[in-house]
Amino acid sequence: MKRRFQELPPALQKQILLRFGAGLLSFILFIIAAVAYQEFYVCVSFLLFGIVFGIAGAMLLIRAFQGRFVAVEGICNQVERTSIRRRPKIIYFSVDPHMVKIYLRHRLKNIAEGDGIVVYVADNMPVYQQDGCEVLNGYLAVEIRKGVNMHE
């Protein structure tokens, strides 16, 4: 299983580890709160968060092992940023012959026009059309490749 996990793309590995890590941290906080307060209802939220994160990590791990994801590679053409803190919120990138638009959920700090981008999406993810772009409303993981020509 360790070998199969190491064969997965690094961006998916990171997302799986983040979800399992959040679940483990929630369980540890549940135990600490249970010992400190000795009241189940005070710390039940930590238990619920741990269960949710654990299930999310397991579902992503199973999907990745079954190969039920698609890697969409392209070159970033435009980055729309928030008005106040200037964080990226929408990325436009070209995948021959289409233009793809992604609404970001995660914080991507250093993405710029011309960077290579790989977006991992579920194989059953619906794709919508809007203003001549293919729109992806969700994704499993995003990988930014600085200074890499994707068409070589």
Kindly state the helix (H) or strand (E) to which residue 65 belongs, with its residue range: helix 40-66
Q: What is the pLDDT of residue 106?
A: 76
**Are 28 and 54 contacting, i.e. CB atoms less than 8 angstroms apart?**
no
- The closest of 142, 84, 90 to 113, measured between CA atoms, is 90
Is 69-145 assigned to CATH 3.30.70? no
List CB contacts of 11: < 8 A, sequence separation 6 or more: 118, 120, 141, 142, 143
Residue 149 tokens read as 């020509």
Q: What is the pLDDT of residue 137?
A: 83
Kindly state the helix (H) or strand (E) to which residue 31 belongs, with its residue range: helix 10-37
CA distance 127 to 129: 7
Which pLDDT tens digits describe the chain residue by residue (152 residues)? 889 999 999 999 999 999 999 999 999 999 999 999 888 888 899 999 999 999 999 999 999 999 999 999 999 999 988 888 888 888 999 988 889 999 888 777 788 888 899 999 999 999 999 888 999 888 999 998 887 654 54
Q: What is the pLDDT of residue 148?
A: 61
Q: What is the pLDDT of residue 131?
A: 86
Structure pTM? 0.85
- β-bridge pairing 116-122 and 98-103: unpaired
